[in-house]
Amino acid sequence: MKAMFAGFVAIAVIAVGADLALDRAGFAADEKFAGQAVRLD
Amino acid sequence: MLRMVFAFVLQLGLLVGAVQAQDTTAPVEVDRSATGGAQTLEDILARQRGEKLDDSFRRNATGDPDIAAGITQQLGTLGGASDAEVWRQLRYGSADVTVSSGGEVASVLMQDGGMPWLTFRDGPLRQYGGWLLLGTLGALVVFYVLRGRIPVDGEMTGRTVTRFKFIERMAHWTLAGSFIILGVTGLLTLFGRAFIAPYLGKDINSFLLIYGKWLHNSVAWAFMVALVLVFVMWVVHNIPNRTDLVWIRQFGGIIGNKHPPAKKFNAGQKVIFWSVILFGASISVSGLSLLFPYELPLFAKTFAVLNDIGIPQWIGFGTLPEQLSPQEEMQFAQAWHAIMAFVLMAIIIAHIYIGSVGMEGAYDAMGSGEVDEAWAHQHHSIWLEEEKAKAAGSAKGATPAE
């Protein structure tokens, strides 16, 4: 069971890590498909 | 090679849906003298009936001053190009479009692959995909009723042998857990509007899709990492060999009472392994194409390779399109991604069955990693002997020299 839980934790870590990393790397949808003119930030 | 053939057959299945508006009958000959060569009501009706229509009379009717009405005539143009020609150029992708942003994607102002794709997605994809999964579940229920749980013959010995190490089991569960999340969220995406929104409401469907999309896009990376890990760790044990033939001849002992010898993985497990690797890789590649829209086009190049080999022509599908708009690339990627996923889901449902309720003792291999010797002897006798020999060798090596 420990291996199973470790696997599930790995899923969470990789998923969150990938999301954050891609976001920081400029792959967020608003970065890719919207110009500054239509940003709200 | 087998993989490519299989992939091609499935791609052709997709194409049947994608070009169904063109594959039913021979081209319709239409007299267009009444419209001066422009499309007629019969052209429009034939297209709506899904009949094959040679549209070259429209596609090529651009840029030629001779076909334009004279300047002094009614509807005469001031040159070689008319508004209608511009619209035809846009319609068939031959217009010289310049856009200030958005790149090649934004320069496609019209593309007509959308409706066939949507029709395929909302029709055959859902229908056949859904029935494939339900059919697999039904077949397993019937099999369970007929065959019951495959027991371990005789008594358990109480002695165990390590079947999978911690890292192997962890990688397995990372792959398994991520695949289940991806499968469920993928099914929600495909079926949510048809089966959740009408019954539970659009708000709930929207909530599921918003978070399901994030899960799908993010958990996909865990799936890909685990897929690589599993491949690296187990590929050496999954190379086919002669014992597989014996296993296949005896149906793996699933039907009947024989227990064919097997190494660490039997032929059935090898089929599962290679299915996971090949389908998983194909799903991953098409998924990456979808994760980074328009940046990783796959299908025009794939079709070109297949055309060069001659497979589509050989089967009678003619030449596959080698010029695809960026949007069509995405449509093919989505459809292919879903088809591959449905097939792998069906296979994995069977895998889950045999690894849990279908076979006594099987879950321990991935649960604790320790299996009873009686189970190991019954299902992996060659592997058990190898493990015993290794253990004996280690014990001998550990004995102090006299």
Q: Give ipTM to 2 decimals.
A: 0.87
Asked if residue B182 lies in contact with residue B213, where contact means CB atoms within 8 angstroms, the answer is no
Asked if residue B161 lies in contact with residue B390, where contact means CB atoms within 8 angstroms, the answer is no
- Residue of chain B whose Cα is closest to the Cα of A34: B102
pLDDT for B80: 57
- Residue of chain A whose Cα is closest to the Cα of B100: A35
Q: How far apart are the first and last CA of chain A?
A: 45
pLDDT for B335: 96
pLDDT for B111: 84
Tell me whether residues A7 and B169 touch, CB distance under 8 A: yes
pLDDT for B29: 65
DSSP result, B264-326 = SS-HHHHHHHHHHHHHHHHHHHHHHHHHSTTTS--HHHHHHHHHHHTHHHHHT--PPP----H
Residues on chain A touching B214 (C-beta within 8 angstroms): 19
Output the tens digit of pLDDT for each of chain B's 402 residues. Answer: 344 444 444 444 444 444 443 444 455 566 888 887 788 898 888 888 878 778 888 888 877 766 666 677 776 666 556 777 888 888 888 888 888 877 788 888 888 788 889 999 999 999 999 999 999 999 999 999 998 888 888 888 888 999 999 999 999 999 999 999 999 999 999 999 999 999 999 999 999 999 999 999 999 999 999 999 999 999 999 999 988 898 888 887 777 677 888 889 999 999 999 999 999 999 999 999 999 988 899 999 999 999 999 999 998 888 898 888 899 999 999 999 999 999 999 999 999 999 999 988 899 999 999 999 999 998 898 999 988 888 887 766 665 555
pLDDT for B113: 81
Q: Cα–chain-centroid distance for residue B14?
A: 10
**CATH code reported for the domain at B114-397:** 1.20.950.20
**Nearest Cβ partner of B173 from A4, A27, A35?**
A4
pLDDT for B391: 83
A40: amino acid identity, one letter: L
The 3-class secondary structure across B181-201, one letter per residue, is HHHHHHHHHHHHHHHHHHHHC
Q: Residue count of chain B, please give it.
A: 402
Q: Which of B175, B180, B219 is the best residue to mutate to test the A interface, defined by the most A CB atoms within 10 Å of its own CB? A: B219
Cα–Cα distance, B107 to B367 (Å, whole number): 54
Closest C-alpha to B237, from B213, B270, B285: B270
Annotated domain spans of chain B: 27-106, 114-397
CA-based nearest distance A8→chain B, Å: 6
